[in-house]
Amino acid sequence: MREPMLGIDRLIDRIDALDNPSVVGLDPSLSMMPEALAREMYAEYGETPRAVAEMFFLYNRAILDAVADVVPAVKPQIAMYERYGIDGLAAYVRTCEYAADKGLYVIGDIKRGDIASTAEAYAAHLAGAEIGSARVDLWREDAITVNPYFGTDGIEPFARACRETGKSVFVLVKTSNASSAELQDLEVEEVPANVALRGKSAMGDVARAFAGLANMPLYEQVANYVEVWGNDLVGERGYSAVGAVVGATHPEVGRALRRAHPRMFFLVPGYGAQGASARDLAGFFDAGGRGCIVNSSRGVIAAWQRSVDGETVTQPDAGRALDTVAAAARGAAQAMAAALRQAR
Amino acid sequence: MREPMLGIDRLIDRIDALDNPSVVGLDPSLSMMPEALAREMYAEYGETPRAVAEMFFLYNRAILDAVADVVPAVKPQIAMYERYGIDGLAAYVRTCEYAADKGLYVIGDIKRGDIASTAEAYAAHLAGAEIGSARVDLWREDAITVNPYFGTDGIEPFARACRETGKSVFVLVKTSNASSAELQDLEVEEVPANVALRGKSAMGDVARAFAGLANMPLYEQVANYVEVWGNDLVGERGYSAVGAVVGATHPEVGRALRRAHPRMFFLVPGYGAQGASARDLAGFFDAGGRGCIVNSSRGVIAAWQRSVDGETVTQPDAGRALDTVAAAARGAAQAMAAALRQAR
């Protein structure tokens, strides 16, 4: 029986077709909402989480309509919705659905992680939930981000979901923030004898992966684990459905990991508002210009707030607030695509 | 101005008053639901997430009514609800609300974590969400669990929320699962020079915390960070509102961390169904028998499924299914309390 096409292959094909290795982070906040939109929603729903959720969805929908033929993927950050409780999360799901229905590859930036039995519950983000005789996809994500702190048994339920559905996970390896060094750069001496990789990742694979290695930063060790976790999920384009999150703010790390892990696809946050430039990204790509997708959130979705001349942003009129948001986002997404084409 | 009483003090007082350092994990799954309850909810709502959510809430409510005068705290595991999408999460919130209204200390086991700006959004679990002129508490948790992989800037928004509200966080240090060793036990050589602890945790504190230390497992390093993160949040009972998750399955780790960190309160999972016994727990307590709270989930909430004589569990009649669940949970919670009284 032929396996279903892996989503990571579909993502790579979309990147190639659009000649654009970027993803738009859908991370709305109240401070981005045009005053006219906020006024309208507060008038309709009061100062409630529901009002914020409706703003966020309308805002996202306008952006999705504007960028769906420019970018291959979007990455809604669930925290920005979860902040507003159940209503906010409902807007997250509506956003994922709307994006998926437009053919966009949807990366749920949820950074979940727990011990095996609990990770299995979180894996419903990919595998769906079994209820009675049915299995239902309640989240509509094509991929999610996950946290490696628990080791193999906390990752295996997600990897199993990838095997079953063809979807993907991106494991945090080296994050874009300044404090990432505190844990992730700690020099580790060796893999201790009590490391017991369980499940289908055989000890032998791991021993081979680590033979002769010592004194490397923790994130390299984590990347070696990710390699093992994804070694049976490599798609037709040469990349595994188990990828890694590597921050654009660490260009040398990206270059080193790219060289060490030719089958590992990178999700790269930190471009734009977080400080990394297109030049910083060259090392994240393989020789063919593939192997990563670069995220920008505020730089695209809040582009309407950037005043060209440094003056206070003029609030758009009520009738065309979302048109203004959408046009600015489309322009910023196109500019980012052009910059990345140069970089790779 | 007098600060509000820290929640960690209230928790310790409740533990003392009930002479019971345990917390009931509210981690429902479909396999625990009495057939009569499932049949009734499927009949009313169809085979839908809503039906599962209603089952979970009714199940939890029965248990909460039965144990509220036995245990000081409950720990709903959000993954078990998130598995069923928005409806499931609504049952999580209703469970937190119901427990909080009964005076129970509610530990949301959400294991969130991200870079600073995103962690700030997750911190709304504790701080509430600002909407218009109001701040609303949408989750009703007294404490949450968080992941340390991002370092200080990913923790600071949660610590700030603790300062503002008196609530608590428990940072993952050493988790209860077998694979925890893969990252958490890696020997780290030293804190590298590029570690830049930011925010209000001064570099000086950290330098002092680490002076002379080398070659320790990663989890010890994380515990040292947790110490710094919580050093300005120590309550009247001598424990900090920034605590640690330390698995009961690692008795020696618990003993060593207890000795090294006298102000660090431990949330201890892994008792019962995960294999640890009361004897394993002695080292987690301080000399006065305080300093930790031990979680049991399945051992309490699925106690009704344990057949005394090893026979197939008899499904309770429709009319009294939840009474059976509640009585068994109360009995198991009392038995656990008795076992822990011996241990400490």
In order of their start, the domains of chain A are 7-343 (3.20.20.70)
pLDDT in tens, chain B (344 residues): 445 689 999 999 999 999 999 999 999 999 999 999 999 999 999 999 999 999 999 999 999 999 999 999 999 999 999 999 999 999 999 999 999 999 999 999 999 999 999 999 999 999 999 999 899 999 999 999 999 999 999 999 999 999 999 999 999 999 999 999 999 999 987 564 444 454 334 444 554 455 555 689 999 999 999 999 999 999 999 999 999 999 999 999 999 999 999 999 999 999 987 778 888 999 999 999 999 999 999 999 999 998 665 566 778 877 799 999 999 999 999 999 999 999 88
Helix (H, G, I), strand (E, B), or coil: what is residue B85? helix
Q: What is the pLDDT of residue B2?
A: 47
Which residues from B are below 8 Å from A116, CB to CB?
177, 179
Residue A203's pLDDT is: 43
Length of chain B: 344
Are A196 and B184 in contact by the 8 Å Cβ rule? The answer is no
Reported ipTM exceeds the 0.85 cut: yes
* pLDDT on residue B209: 55
Whether residue B39 contacts residue B97, with contact meaning beta carbons closer than 8 Å, is answered with: no
Report the distance separating Cα A230 and Cα A242, nearest Å. 5
Any A CB within 8 A of B227 CB: no
Separation of alpha carbons A172 and B112, rounded Å: 13
pLDDT of residue A236: 96
Q: Are A287 and A10 in contact (CB under 8 A)?
A: no
**What pLDDT is attached to residue B214?**
62
Compute the radius of gyration of chain B from its Cα atoms.
Answer: 20
Out of B89, B125, B153, name the one closest to residue A89 (CB).
B89
In this prediction, residue B203 carries a pLDDT of 43
Burial A171-203 (b: 16+ CB within 10 A, else e): bbbbbbbbbbbbbbbbbbeebeeebebbeebee
Query: Which of B79, B130, B190 shows the shortest C-beta gap to A118?
Result: B79
By DSSP bridging, strand B168-174 and strand A134-136 are unpaired
| B22-26 vs A292-296, strand pairing mode | unpaired
What 3-state DSSP class applies to B328? Answer: helix
Q: Across the interface, do A194 and B178 touch by the CB < 8 Å criterion? A: no
| A86 reaches B (C-beta below 8 A) | yes
Whether A234 and chain B come into contact, CB under 8 Å, resolves to no
Which residue is catalytic, options A102, A111, A167, A174? A111
**Distance between CA atoms of A146 and A153, rounded to whole angstroms?**
13
Are the Cβ atoms of B178 and A187 closer than 8 angstroms? no
Provide, as residue numbers in chain B, all residues whose Cβ is less than 8 Å from the Cβ of A149: 147-149, 172, 175, 183-184
Inter-chain residue contact A51 with B131, CB threshold 8 Å: yes
CA distance linking residue B259 with residue B194, whole number of Å: 29
Cβ atoms of A259 and A286 closer than 8 Å = no
Q: Are A106 and A64 in contact (CB under 8 A)?
A: no
Q: At what angle do helices B218-229 and B152-165 cross, to 10 degrees?
A: 40
- In chain A, which stretches have pLDDT less than 70? 1-4, 190-214, 307-312
Q: How many CB atoms lie within 10 A of CB B65?
A: 15
Is the CB of B76 inside 8 Å of chain A's CB atoms? Answer: no
A129-131 vs A242-246, strand pairing mode: unpaired
Per-residue pLDDT, B201: 43
- The DSSP annotation for B201-225 comes to S-HHHHHHHHTT--SEEHHHHHHHH
Helices A85-101 and A49-67: angle between axes, nearest 10 degrees: 20
Q: Looking at beta carbons, which residues of chain A come within 8 Å of B138?
A: 49, 84-86
C-beta separation of B104 from B72 below 8 A: yes
**Structure tokens, B175:** 């988790």
Structure tokens given for A308: 């060209």
Name the pairing type of β-strands A129-131 and A134-136.
antiparallel
Chain A interface includes B84 (CB < 8 A) = yes
Q: Do A28 and A80 form a contact (C-beta atoms < 8 A)?
A: yes
The CA distance from A26 to B72, in Å, is 40
For tokens 């680490």, name the residue.
B210
Cβ-in-10-Å burial (0-12, 13-18, 19+) of B42 comes to middle
Read off the DSSP letter of residue A54: H
Reading phi first (left if > 0) and then psi (alpha if -120 to 50, else beta), residue A211 is in beta
Amino acid at A83: R
SS3 A34: coil
**Minimal Cα distance from A217: which residue of B?**
B188
CA distance A162 to chain B (A): 16
Contacts of B129 in chain A (CB under 8 A): 49, 52, 83-85, 88
* Angle (deg, nearest 10), helices A251-260 and A218-229: 40
d(CA B189, CA A47): 52
Any A CB within 8 A of B191 CB: yes
Which of B42, B132, B190 minimises the CB distance to A132?
Answer: B42
Q: Is B47 within 8 Å of A134 when comparing Cβ atoms? A: yes
